[in-house]
């Protein structure tokens, strides 16, 4: 079978899986959006991990290692393993508990109820959509690039990304969030196994890991150290980036699908190990790509388009059918994030905006689902159109911009859970601080074009988080306290 045929079979399998998951659908809006809290530990781990491992983790990390060396793993991956687990433990299980107790479907539900303030939702909704668009973009860009490579350039990047977007839309429309969780579990297994297989095959083709590394030592030893590739201040200020998971709306939705708080345990301790298993092969492939020679020629030519390093290494160093399987693995990683991101957009729109203007008792569950689908399609088309313009942008820096926005909002969820006396005005000013500082820095960087953009030598996320915290504190000084009745609802220990 050719690589393209294998990818088509894989996409068809996904659609079949969604039809099977539809049989488990209970027909209610609660089941469509939260799987009626029925997701157990293993599926929760796989769907949470699959959602967080995006094009960024495979395509982006390989490309970043190619350009800036092995330091990318220590910069972000190893820290993310620790911090993500901390967020799941400190935030995730508490969000799940409140979500189950009060019937929340989205973050905005939580913030509105916690602070008894509807306006928070109207401000947070466009902010979350704004930050999720770059995240959607990297998925579409990477999938388009891979489709182009696997089809030997007979399918353009634009058509490739459109095909992937349509496949994801179909399976989430059929299966709801349970369909997304089942697809994610399958796809996470696929990309982890096939990613490891890719690593073994590529290293064998290069004569083994020692031989592959010898080529790098001979041609590009500067890729093996952080000196010249990262500054200490940038390394330290990257600390804030993994906090973004505290405010990812798609992850929030997965937390709410959990069967019980115990279901989180596996996710908490397995996450750092799983990140390592996915990132290390990609980072090594990335630096090998700088120097790997076969037949006296560089495997990845110097003028290769951005984000193509992994695709080229896989294509040139493995057989056509294996290349197809590995491409399917990468697409699996991309789609396992796109599905959750698409889905959460629809949930947020219907739950947080539409139902504030239309009485939800007066419309059927079927109509509610169609409103959600309409909004998802609108955002996906808009993001696809943006991808036509930014198709030369590297994935890693674009993803970091998205993460910076969500990280900037992370003080809000910590305040909601741990700062009893925080106020609605503090949340509003925190959102304003994070949003406007992000917009300013993003514009100042040429909309992400300046890949080494920094503010006083630090990552801009430092100041986005700071702006949010300042807004929170000012809002707390001048804002009205939440009533004791509401505080008791959220914080009083049950007998």
Q: Give the binding range for other proteins (CB under 8 A) out of 55-63, 191-199, 267-275, 292-300.
A: 267-275
Site stretch for other proteins (CB under 8 A), options 161-169, 213-221, 357-365, 410-418: 213-221
φ/ψ region of 481 (left if φ > 0, alpha if ψ in -120 to 50, else beta) reads: beta
- Least Å distance, CB 32 to other proteins, is 18
Minimum separation from the CB atom of position 33 to other proteins (A): 16
- Which of 156, 260, 451, 454 is close enough to bind other proteins by CB under 8 A? 260
Among the listed ranges 9-17, 123-131, 191-199, 268-276, the one in contact with other proteins (CB under 8 A) is 268-276
Q: Is 99 an interacting residue with respect to other proteins (CB under 8 A)? A: no
Residue choice 232, 362, 366, 492 for contact with other proteins (CB under 8 A): 232
Please classify residue 127 by burial: count the beta carbons closer than 10 Å to its beta carbon, then call 0-12 exposed, 13-18 middle and 19+ buried.
Answer: buried
Q: Is 94 exposed, middle or buried (0-12, 13-18, 19+ CB in 10 A)?
A: middle
The residues with which 458 forms a beta bridge, in sequence order, are: 455
Q: Which stretch binds other proteins (CB under 8 A): 4-12, 75-83, 315-323, 401-409?
A: 75-83
Residue 434's nearest CA partner among 461, 463, 401, 468 is 468
- In the bound complex, what is the minimum distance in angstroms from residue 117's beta carbon to other proteins? 27
Stretch that binds other proteins, among 69-77, 113-121, 132-140, 155-163 (CB under 8 A): 69-77
Is residue 175 within 8 Å of 28, Cβ to Cβ? no
Residue from the set 269, 418, 478, 491 that interacts with other proteins by CB under 8 A: 269
User: CA-CA distances (angstroms) from residue 226 to 65, 71, 231, 306?
Assistant: 11, 5, 8, 21
DSSP string of 334-386, one letter each residue: HHHHHHHHHHHHHHHIIIIIIHHHS-GGGS-HHHHHHHHHHHHHHHHHHHHHH
Residue 419 near residue 487, CB atoms below 8 Å: no
Compare residues 224 and 473 and give the one whose CB is closer to other proteins: 224
458 three-state secondary structure: strand
Applying CB under 8 A, among 13, 129, 197, 209 the residue interacting with other proteins is: 209
Q: By CB under 8 A, tell whether 458 contacts other proteins.
A: no
Query: In whole angstroms, how far apart are CA 9 and each of 165, 261, 314?
Result: 17, 37, 19
- Asked if residue 488 binds other proteins (CB under 8 A), the reply is no
Minimum distance from residue 298 beta carbon to other proteins (Å) = 20
Q: What are phi and psi of 100, to 5 degrees?
A: -70, -40
How open is the CA angle 78-80-83, to the nearest 5 degrees?
115
> 3-class SS at 1?
coil
How many residues interact with other proteins (rule CB under 8 A)? 48
Burial 361-388 (b: 16+ CB within 10 A, else e): eeeeeeebbebbbebbbebbeebbebbe
- Check residue 48 for interaction with other proteins (CB under 8 A): no
Q: Interface with other proteins includes 205 (CB under 8 A)?
A: no
Decide if residue 236 touches other proteins (CB under 8 A).
yes
**Residue 210 contacts other proteins per CB under 8 A:** yes
Q: Which of 13, 15, 25, 78 binds other proteins (CB under 8 A)?
A: 78
Instruction: Classify 409 as helix, strand or coil.
Output: helix
- Binding flag, residue 213, other proteins (CB under 8 A): yes
Site string for other proteins, 240-259 (x = CB under 8 A): -------------------x
Cα separation, 423 vs 408, whole angstroms: 18
Check residue 326 for interaction with other proteins (CB under 8 A).
no
Cα first-last separation, the chain:
63
The binder of other proteins chosen from 85, 120, 163, 326 (CB under 8 A): 85
Residue whose CB is less far from other proteins, 147 or 403: 403
Nearer to other proteins, 18 or 52 (CB): 52
By rule CB under 8 A, what string of x and - marks binding of each residue 22-41 to other proteins?
---------------x----
The span from the CA of 124 to the CA of 253, in Å, is: 16
Residues at the site binding other proteins, with contacts judged by CB under 8 A: 37, 70-71, 73-74, 77-79, 81-82, 85-86, 89, 93, 97, 100, 209-210, 212-213, 217, 221, 224-227, 232, 235-236, 239, 259-263, 265-266, 268-273, 275-276, 280, 283, 493
């Amino acid at each position: 079978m050719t690589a393209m045929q294998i990818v088509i079979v894989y996409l068809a399998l996904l659609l079949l899986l969604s039809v099977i998951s539809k049989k488990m659908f209970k027909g209610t809006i609660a089941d469509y959006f939260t799987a009626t809290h029925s997701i157990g530990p293993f599926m929760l781990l796989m769907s949470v991990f699959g959602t967080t491992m995006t094009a960024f983790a495979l395509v982006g990390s390989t490309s970043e290692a190619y350009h800036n060396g092995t330091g990318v793993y220590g910069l972000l991956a190893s820290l993310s393993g620790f911090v993500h687990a901390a967020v799941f433990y400190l935030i995730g299980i508490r969000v799940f508990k409140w979500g189950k107790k009060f019937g929340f479907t989205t973050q905005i539900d939580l913030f509105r109820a916690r602070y008894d303030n509807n306006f928070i939702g109207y401000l947070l909704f466009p902010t979350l959509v704004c930050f999720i668009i770059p995240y959607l973009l990297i998925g579409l860009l990477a999938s388009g690039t891979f489709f182009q490579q696997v089809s030997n350039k007979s399918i353009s990047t634009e058509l490739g990304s459109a095909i992937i977007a349509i496949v994801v839309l179909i399976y989430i429309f059929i299966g709801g969030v349970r369909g997304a969780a089942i697809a994610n579990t399958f796809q996470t297994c696929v990309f982890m196994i096939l990613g490891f297989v890719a690593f073994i095959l590529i290293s064998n083709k290069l004569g083994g890991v020692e031989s592959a590394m010898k080529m790098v030592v001979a041609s590009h030893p500067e890729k093996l150290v952080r000196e010249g590739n990262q500054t200490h201040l940038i390394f330290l200020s990257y600390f804030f980036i993994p906090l973004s998971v505290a405010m990812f709306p798609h992850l929030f939705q997965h937390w709410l699908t959990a069967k019980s708080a115990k279901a989180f345990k596996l996710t908490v301790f397995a996450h750092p190990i799983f990140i390592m298993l996915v990132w290390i092969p990609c980072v090594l492939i990335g630096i090998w790509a700088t120097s790997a020679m076969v037949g006296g020629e560089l495997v990845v030519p110097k003028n290769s388009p951005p984000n193509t390093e992994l695709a080229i290494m896989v294509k040139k160093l493995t057989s056509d059918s294996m290349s197809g399987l590995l491409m399917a693995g990468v697409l699996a990683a991309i789609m396992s994030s796109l599905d959750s991101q698409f889905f959460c957009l629809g949930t947020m729109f219907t739950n947080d905006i539409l139902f504030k203007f239309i009485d939800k008792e007066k419309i059927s569950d079927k109509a509610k689902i169609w409103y959600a689908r309409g909004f998802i399609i609108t955002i996906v088309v808009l993001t696809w159109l943006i991808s036509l313009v930014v198709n030369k942008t590297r994935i890693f820096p674009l993803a970091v911009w998205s993460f910076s926005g969500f990280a900037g909002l992370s003080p809000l969820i910590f305040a909601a859970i741990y700062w009893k006396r925080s106020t609605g005005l503090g949340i509003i000013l925190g959102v304003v601080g994070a949003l406007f500082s992000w917009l300013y820095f993003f514009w100042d960087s040429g909309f992400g074009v300046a890949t080494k953009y920094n503010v006083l030598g630090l990552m801009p996320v430092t100041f986005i988080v700071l702006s949010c915290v300042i807004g929170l504190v000012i809002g707390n000084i001048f804002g009205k306290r939440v009533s004791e009745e509401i505080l008791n609802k959220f914080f009083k220990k049950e007998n």
